[in-house]
Chains A and B, each alone.
Chain A
């Protein structure tokens, strides 16, 4: 199984030192890879968000996408480093866009935008989620059904929290727009268009019609 050298080495060290069974090596390497890539991705996103002055917005986008994607899945890049670049650029960009958008949006337009984003995303989640990947297939129908339900529950919770925050004026519209962007992205990556986009990002030659 293909894991990066550092995760395999750390897993090997842990197995040796703790006398754990050798069949746990793959599991440990997998967990180490998940922790390290998420740490790098989230850290880089927050750092760039901080530099751009949109740290809270970036954090809200990250949280929203995390809460839905964990159950709904979606398109993936086949390179860990390309994924890190996409994540590090995407979430601060969402924060920045929300920062500019709420300055020009009237409150009513912002509310309508947030409402429409939730409605469209809920439909996409209902019809498409969960989307698995070849590296993490969803084999059982029961698990597939459970993940769909949980993704819809998660979306419902985010919608409720957004409504409560909006009605009680707890925070600025900027952060609510960030939630909307997060919701839109989480549902967009379920679509065939997003899968095509990731394929093109993984292999830019596809854009010129040269399949490699």
Chain B
């Protein structure tokens, strides 16, 4: 059970990193508020 939970968390982290990369590649994601893009993702 614990193993599955940690694997799931790993998947969540990977998905979030992927989303952040996609978002930083676009001009903005949608809303009228833009959080600060991390320096490592600015291009």
Residues of A participating in the B interface, judged by any CB pair closer than 8 Å: 1-3, 14-15, 17-18, 20, 23-24, 26-28, 30-35, 37-38, 41-42, 65-66, 69-80, 82-84, 86-87, 129-133, 135-140, 143, 147, 151, 189, 198
Contact = CB atoms under 8 A, between A and B. Distances in A.
Nearest to A11: B16
B34 A66 contact: no
A41 B32 CA distance: 9
A17 B6 contact: yes
The main secondary structure of chain A at its interface with chain B is helix
A136 B34 contact: yes
Given A14-B9, A35-B19, A133-B28, A23 B40 contact: yes
Given A136-B28, A137-B37, 9 more contacts: A27-B16, A27-B40, A31-B23, A38-B31, A79-B33, A83-B33, A131-B27, A133-B28, A140-B43
A37 B33 contact: yes
B30 A18 contact: no
A69 to B, nearest CB: 6
Interface size class of B (residues with CB under 8 A): 20 to 34
A139 B42 CA distance: 7
Contact of B29 (A26, A34, A138): A34
7 contacts: A2-B36, A14-B13, A18-B6, A27-B16, A34-B23, A34-B29, A198-B32
Nearest to A40: B31
A78 B36 CA distance: 10
